[in-house]
Structure 1
């Protein structure tokens, strides 16, 4: 489990929580189970826990706009305290972000398709337009994901990343296969917005044996729960 508290410029705080295979015993693809488990871990009611029907797209949702149900989307943000934002991952990038001017938190589900499609850049553009945030003051944190140590792709995917950021790839041991580091590509994309990103990582590869987190590539059907909220 990852459990961090970060303080904002106005001395408010936010929490960042990632529940993995040591904390989850149940179907973490089921919305009701997710709300129940996250509520148990945080002591915040299930009605204040927001998640999406993720589809590897670029739909961005503000938690205040939620109606009943689970909307389709891959990025969530809010400026309101005690609203927990959740994305499910099992090798994809969970990208947490926040700023203190104004106090705002968000989380993005970014598989390789979403990374290429620009889900992060689109999300930042939306929150910048709506709240006037300074992108230079945004902090980023990558939760557990399939890193370039183990994340192998074929030439079909590799060619798409190579066109823009060749050094996001390294040859794998098998001919025609490559190891993809999405952090390298993501950093390039954020810099293309004119921003030098402050980006931290959990330092965990989901594909490593005994990582403590679910991995689709290792055959897991459950999902890690990546949560963030303003306290």
Structure 2
């Protein structure tokens, strides 16, 4: 069953929510935006949430406000980083609340994963094919987001995030819930030998998980022509999560492909770079948790 469920409220952004998590704790908001419902003009038409793509800053900020309003959260809670396709994980404190919401200059610098146990902080990060990774520890009441393109994936940002949550909050991997959100699928993501070399090095260290096959390529590498292949970043990240100690039954993985569905999502690859950005988000409010 698809874990990210589309919602289409009248006069509101079209969103993809994770009800299997939100149903367990009514303080939790978690999901992924679409390209539908915002104020941006072409080529960022709709709900562009990225300040770095050439769109009018005032339109991007208005789109972010519209998303916050749709979630029932104050825009002041929106907190984000300036992503660099790395593997740095940053702890977000109460003093960081609101950083990056209306300007790149105020965003948390050089960071691709954010985590917090503060209430009323809405973590957000941005995508147009890369893989959004979500983490929630209901026992320690901590949450995290990680942005995983191919560089972040091969740098094991998923494992780095689990390690950071353990160090900061005492989160045990077996307690952590994880989710892998809408992103480009193996059906659409063809790469060259430069990328494949890094992916194979990663897979060589994870053979015990069945990611690699003796005498051949991994099931998640599908050769297409000499020196080129399609790769499944979602499945690679799922396996990294498992190796980091997250239980397979605690991992949700989407089937939505941003490359296939440009009617719903921005896709940097399919639209040749002339496109906007979606957002992932996660946050815990201060209300009483469900019994």
Equivalent position of 2:75 in the other structure:
46
Q: Whole-Å Cα distance in 2 between the matches of residues 58 and 100 of structure 1?
A: 24
Within the candidate set 47, 66, 73, 2:96 is matched to: 66
Cα distance, 1:95 vs. partner?
Answer: 0.4
Aligned counterparts, 1:1-231, within 5 A: 1-5=15-19, 6-7=21-22, 11=25, 13-26=27-40, 27-30=48-51, 32-33=61-62, 35-64=64-93, 66=96, 69-72=106-109, 73-165=111-203, 166=212, 167=218, 168-172=220-224, 174-197=225-248, 198-210=250-262, 212-219=264-271, 220-231=274-285
Q: Whole-Å Cα distance in 2 between the matches of residues 208 and 155 of structure 1?
A: 23
Q: Whole-Å Cα distance in 2 between the matches of residues 211 and 32 of structure 1?
A: 22
Whichever structure has more strand as a proportion of its residues is 1
Contact 2:180–2:238 (8 Å) recurs in 1: no
Q: Whole-Å Cα distance in 2 between the matches of residues 77 and 16 of structure 1?
A: 14
Q: Provide TM-score, normalisation by structure 2.
A: 0.72
Cα distance, 1:33 vs. partner?
Answer: 4.1
Q: Secondary structure at the match of 2:49?
A: coil
Q: Whole-Å Cα distance in 1 between the matches of residues 182 and 240 of structure 2?
A: 20
Q: Secondary structure at the match of 1:164?
A: helix
Cα distance, 1:210 vs. partner?
Answer: 4.1
Contact 1:204–1:211 (8 Å) recurs in 2: no
Contact 2:128–2:183 (8 Å) recurs in 1: yes
Q: Whole-Å Cα distance in 2 between the matches of residues 15 and 124 of structure 1?
A: 20
Q: Whole-Å Cα distance in 1 between the matches of residues 174 and 61 of structure 2?
A: 37
- Give the gaps of 5 or more residues in structure 2: 1-14, 41-47, 52-59, 100-105, 204-211, 213-217, 286-291
Q: Whole-Å Cα distance in 2 between the matches of residues 140 and 23 of structure 1?
A: 28
- Give the gaps of 5 or more residues in structure 1: none
Deviation >4 Å, runs of 4+: none
Q: Whole-Å Cα distance in 1 between the matches of residues 71 and 26 of structure 2?
A: 17
Contact 2:22–2:30 (8 Å) recurs in 1: no
Q: Which has the larger radius of gyration?
A: 2
Q: Secondary structure at the match of 1:16?
A: strand
Q: Deviations over 1:150-206 (max 9, x none)?
A: 11001111121123324221112x443201111232233223334433211221000
